[in-house]
């Protein structure tokens, strides 16, 4: 059980034992997050830069809380405050930030491969908080943590992911992670939003929602973005038709197992991909996902900074 | 210039079916005087010190390579490449003739730019540079460029390469109009309606990497359209950098019907698959994109069976400014002049081509395809020659290349074969010391 990587760029890079290490550590941090006093000195003196070049509320806050609960100093760069708007290249921005000697840069960017680009170029740790349609590894880890808490394990379980698979980094990271841990993964949505070769990542594609959710232990709904239609992608006629064919509501839920778990990475479009009754219903673990997000991000920062190895060294010293 | 005797080489001249150890004598005018065994004795006794003898034992002597598709970036983007630096890279790669695309700044869409390129090439003197003019003014796809005047100034073909001619009516007219001038319309086949913001081939690798893809169909529907237009107009369509199995098949069938269509394939498209993009190395980004293994195999078959007329590099230099960025923002294109021989000999090593066939695809056939003088070594022909060692190896070090740019996906590869000498009209344009750097 170990995690010896400098960076967390994607689930695709990880071995099963590395995923389990991240989840086990997150489990410990999850307990910490339930205490009245939530702060530990683990990362005191360490600096974390949040480089968010794409809008984000949940993920950015989650990373920030995670870092602060471990006593790291955090700094935020992004949006209109960044020099990206002044024509500086991403690599220059990143090299300048690194020159200020952070220990970790958490990066979100609208283009795939950017976390890998920074991880390769910079000596400090890089955590991917979402790169284009590529990966969102901490989201998949927090989803897995949530499922492990509810289901005990992944072997023999079926997880159905519904929605815009083609433009979803959450879907990709989850397909890879869940299949790696032994689950069966179905993806469902209009054929226009199922990317070619998704089977190569381990998923089975389903056309119809009712077939996809039948016998599933988990149904994960993805956000449908109106912008996709507005930008002329010709993916589906309108959100009303989408909702009728692929929306999860009390009616479609009758096809599902009574104990099915409903997930959503957020932000939720109520009434489009999921009805309020389902989102707030007994099946929903959506807010558990958010709570676990903090623990998973604490775990990710802890491991990429080598704090586990540092602690082990201290422990060995004390034992002597 | 003294006469030069290239002595004891394995002379490969596919135009005449020659593949034998012999001598080649170049006259004072830079043209081939004689080819045959035992010329050394004959000239040695007759001419004494009047003849420079170039010992060529163990080397292949072939017609200098002809590249129908390069980007030399001059005028306008001299920080990427100039006619001189591109010419140096061409010479180092064994090329004696290159045809340069029109997407310079300003665009080569009128005779004064065409003449400028020819003058700069003559000053550099490193290889014969034959300009390709734009199909449309400013490559804007709106109206025809000055095709007749550029042809008169020396343009050998017409292309908006880098961009497709999306307007079918303009393409039809271009194919009709160019008939008068006996020059091809060279088509960059990419239906932008099927993918306008793409970064790679659409398939399982683009799905895994989360990069926006463009399907092979975007090439195929344009090849199909333009074959139909060429068939109806009698115009000459040259499909640039063919990269898909279905496009190769469409061209094969069109040729069988007698449509005037020719095509070329690049070393990167017959060597690399889209798997090379994993890792987001921007030197694997080009248009058309790297394709799946089935397409690569079809391109190799097309080269072997003659459906694809020739190999062309699509040498496309870009500076670090354009390449050291997010993959989706990176410019399309790779350099290729100095790795073309090695990658082509890779097909020979893999058993797909014979050596003579490889030489033909790099010199004889491209010259014949565009009706360019060269690609042959008969008495009276231009002494445009390449001497290469087929048994030596080349470790590709982008920093040692002669191009001004470094954007090659083959850095660190060991390729078979090394160019030892390149000769343009009898004079050396490149002379590599055995086993030194590129």
Contact B331, B323 (CB under 8 A): yes
Q: How confident is the model at residue A262 (pLDDT cuts 50, 70, 90)?
A: very high
H helices present in chain A, as ranges: 16-32, 58-69, 90-99, 114-121, 137-151, 169-180, 209-213, 226-230, 239-246, 250-253, 276-279, 286-304, 307-319
Is residue B193 less than 8 Å (CB to CB) from chain A? Answer: no
On the question of pLDDT at B228 being above 60, the answer is yes
Contact B208 A200 (CB under 8 A): yes
Give the pLDDT of residue B48.
56
Per residue, the 3-state secondary structure of B305-330, as one string, reads: HCCCCEECCCECCCCHHHHCCCHHHC
Give the pLDDT of residue A233.
83
Q: What pLDDT, in 10s, does the model give residues B156-199?
A: 999 999 999 999 999 999 999 999 999 999 999 999 999 889 99
Tokens 């941090």, residue located: A29
Q: Which residues of A fall within a CB distance of 8 Å from B199?
A: 112
On the question of pLDDT at A227 being above 80, the answer is no
DSSP string, B98-162: EEE-S-SSS-S-SHHHHHHHHHHHHHH-SSEEEEEE-SBGGG-SSSB--HHHHHHHT--EEE-TT
Q: How confident is the model at residue A9 (pLDDT cuts 50, 70, 90)?
A: very high
Q: Which residue has the higher pLDDT, A81 or B240?
A: B240
For B325, the closest of A90, A131, A135 (CB atoms) is A90
Q: Which residues of A fall within a CB distance of 8 Å from B325?
A: 89-91
Contact B208 A197 (CB under 8 A): yes
For A90, the closest of B213, B279, B326 (CB atoms) is B326
Give the pLDDT of residue A309.
73
On the question of pLDDT at A193 being above 90, the answer is yes
Q: Which residues of A fall within a CB distance of 8 Å from B203?
A: 196-197
Give the pLDDT of residue B438.
39
Catalytic residue, chosen from B23, B109, B220, B314, is B314
Contact B204 A12 (CB under 8 A): no
3-state SS class at B249: helix
Active site residue B314: yes
Q: How far apart are alpha carbons B335 and B396 in whole angstroms?
A: 12
On the question of pLDDT at B426 being above 70, the answer is yes
Helix axes A286-304, A307-319, angle to 10 degrees: 60
Q: What pLDDT, in 10s, does the model give residues B32-68?
A: 999 999 887 777 655 556 899 999 999 999 999 999 9
Q: Which residue has the higher pLDDT, A318 or B24?
A: B24
Share of chain B above pLDDT 70, in %: 97
On the question of pLDDT at B353 being above 60, the answer is yes
Is residue B327 less than 8 Å (CB to CB) from chain A? Answer: yes
Q: How far apart are alpha carbons A94 and A149 in whole angstroms?
A: 37
Give the pLDDT of residue A217.
98
On the question of pLDDT at A79 being above 70, the answer is no
Q: Which two tokens stand for residue B352?
A: 């797909």
- Measured CB to CB, residues of chain A less than 8 Å from chain B are 12, 89-91, 109, 111-114, 116-117, 131-135, 166, 169, 172, 195-201
Contact B277, B209 (CB under 8 A): yes
On the question of pLDDT at B436 being above 50, the answer is no
Lowest-confidence region among A38-42, B38-42, B202-206: B38-42
Q: Which helix (H) or strand (E) holds B225?
A: helix B217-233
Q: How far apart are alpha carbons A261 and A250 in whole angstroms?
A: 14
On the question of pLDDT at A83 being above 70, the answer is no
Is residue B329 less than 8 Å (CB to CB) from chain A? Answer: yes
> How many pairs of residues across A and B have Cβ atoms under 8 Å apart?
71
Q: Taking residues A209-231, report their average pLDDT.
A: 90
Min Cα–Cα distance to chain B from A8, Å: 15
Q: Which of B95, B159, B158, B163 is nearest to B129 (CA)?
A: B95
Q: How confident is the model at residue A88 (pLDDT cuts 50, 70, 90)?
A: confident
For A195, the closest of B207, B327, B329 (CB atoms) is B207
Contact A132 B279 (CB under 8 A): no
Give the pLDDT of residue B183.
98
On the question of pLDDT at A89 being above 80, the answer is yes
Q: Taking residues B380-404, report their average pLDDT.
A: 97
Instruction: List, in order of start, the domains of chain A with CATH numbers.
Output: 11-135+290-309 (3.40.50.1370), 137-287 (3.40.50.1370)
Give the pLDDT of residue A2.
79
Min Cα–Cα distance to chain B from A118, Å: 10
Chain B (145-184) residues lying within 8 Å, Cβ to Cβ, of chain A: none
Q: Which residues of A fall within a CB distance of 8 Å from B324?
A: 89, 91
Instruction: List, in order of start, the domains of chain B with CATH numbers.
Output: 3-61+380-431 (2.30.40.10), 64-370 (3.20.20.140)
Instruction: Give chain B's mean pLDDT.
Output: 96
């Amino acid at each position: 059980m170990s995690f010896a990587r400098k960076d967390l760029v994607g689930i695709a890079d990880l071995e099963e034992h590395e995923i389990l290490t991240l989840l086990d550590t997150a489990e410990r941090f999850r307990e910490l997050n339930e205490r009245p006093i939530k702060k530990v000195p683990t990362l005191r003196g360490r600096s974390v830069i949040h480089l968010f070049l794409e809008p984000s509320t949940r993920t950015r806050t989650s990373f920030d809380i995670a870092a602060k609960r471990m006593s790291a100093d955090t700094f935020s760069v992004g949006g209109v405050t960044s020099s990206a708007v002044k024509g500086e290249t991403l690599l220059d921005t990143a090299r300048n930030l690194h020159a200020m000697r952070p220990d970790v840069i958490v990066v979100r960017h609208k283009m795939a491969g950017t976390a890998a680009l920074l991880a390769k170029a910079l000596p400090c740790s890089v955590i991917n908080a979402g790169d284009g349609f590529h990966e969102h590894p901490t989201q998949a880890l927090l989803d897995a943590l949530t499922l492990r808490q509810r289901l005990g394990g992944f072997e023999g379980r079926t997880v159905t992911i519904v929605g815009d698979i083609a433009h979803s980094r959450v879907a990709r990271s989850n397909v890879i992670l869940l299949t790696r841990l032994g689950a069966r993964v179905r993806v469902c949505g209009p054929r226009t939003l199922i990317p070619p070769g998704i089977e190569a990542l381990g998923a089975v594609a389903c056309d119809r929602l009712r077939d996809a959710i039948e016998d599933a232990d988990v149904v994960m709904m993805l956000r449908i973005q109106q912008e996709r239609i507005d930008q002329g992608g010709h993916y589906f006629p309108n959100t009303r038709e989408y909702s009728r064919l692929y929306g999860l509501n009390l009616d479609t839920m009758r096809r599902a197992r009574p104990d099915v778990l409903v997930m959503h990475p957020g932000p939720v479009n109520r009434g489009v991909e999921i009805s309020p009754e389902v989102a707030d219903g007994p099946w929903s673990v959506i807010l558990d996902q958010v709570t676990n997000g903090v623990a998973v991000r604490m775990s990710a920062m802890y491991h990429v900074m080598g704090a586990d190895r540092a602690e082990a060294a201290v422990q060995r010293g004390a034992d002597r | 210039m003294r006469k030069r005797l290239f002595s004891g080489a394995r002379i490969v001249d596919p135009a005449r079916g020659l593949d034998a150890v012999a001598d080649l004598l170049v006259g004072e005018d830079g043209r081939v005087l004689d080819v045959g065994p035992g010329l050394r004795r004959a000239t040695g006794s007759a001419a004494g010190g009047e003849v420079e003898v170039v010992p060529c034992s163990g080397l292949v002597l072939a017609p200098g390579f002809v590249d129908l598709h390069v980007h030399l970036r001059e005028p306008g983007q001299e920080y990427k490449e100039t006619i001189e630096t591109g010419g140096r890279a061409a010479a180092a790669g064994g090329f004696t003739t290159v045809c340069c695309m029109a997407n310079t700044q300003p665009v080569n869409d009128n005779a004064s730019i065409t003449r400028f390129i020819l003058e700069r090439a003559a000053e550099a003197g490193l290889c014969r540079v034959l300009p390709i003019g734009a199909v449309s003014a400013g490559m804007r796809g709106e109206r025809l460029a000055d095709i007749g005047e550029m042809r008169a100034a020396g343009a050998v073909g017409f292309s908006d390469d880098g961009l497709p001619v999306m307007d079918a009516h303009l393409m039809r007219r271009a194919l009709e109009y160019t008939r008068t001038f006996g020059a091809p319309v060279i088509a960059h086949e990419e239906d932008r309606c099927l993918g306008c913001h793409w970064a790679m081939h659409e398939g399982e690798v683009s799905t895994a990497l989360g990069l926006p893809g463009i399907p092979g169909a975007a090439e195929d529907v344009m090849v199909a359209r333009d074959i139909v237009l060429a068939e109806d107009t009698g115009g000459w369509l040259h499909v640039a950098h063919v990269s898909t199995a279905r496009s190769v098949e469409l061209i094969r069938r069109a040729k069988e019907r007698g449509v005037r269509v020719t095509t070329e394939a690049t070393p990167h498209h017959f060597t690399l698959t889209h798997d090379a993009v994993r890792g987001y190395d921007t030197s694997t980004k080009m248009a058309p994109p790297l394709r799946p293994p089935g397409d690569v195999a079809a391109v190799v078959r097309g080269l072997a069976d003659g459906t694809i007329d020739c190999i062309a590099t699509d040498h496309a230099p870009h500076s670090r400014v354009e390449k050291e960025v997010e993959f989706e923002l990176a410019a399309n294109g790779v350099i290729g002049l100095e790795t073309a021989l090695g990658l082509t000999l890779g097909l020979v090593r893999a058993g797909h081509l014979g050596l003579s066939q490889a030489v033909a695809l790099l010199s004889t056939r491209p010259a014949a395809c565009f009706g360019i003088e060269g690609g042959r070594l008969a008495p009276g022909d231009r002494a445009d020659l390449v001497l290469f060692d087929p048994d030596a190896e080349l470790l590709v070090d982008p920093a040692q290349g002669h191009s001004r740019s470094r954007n090659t996906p083959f850095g660190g590869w060991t390729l078979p074969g090394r160019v030892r000498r390149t000769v343009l009209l009898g004079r050396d344009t490149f002379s590599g010391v055995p086993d030194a750097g590129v």
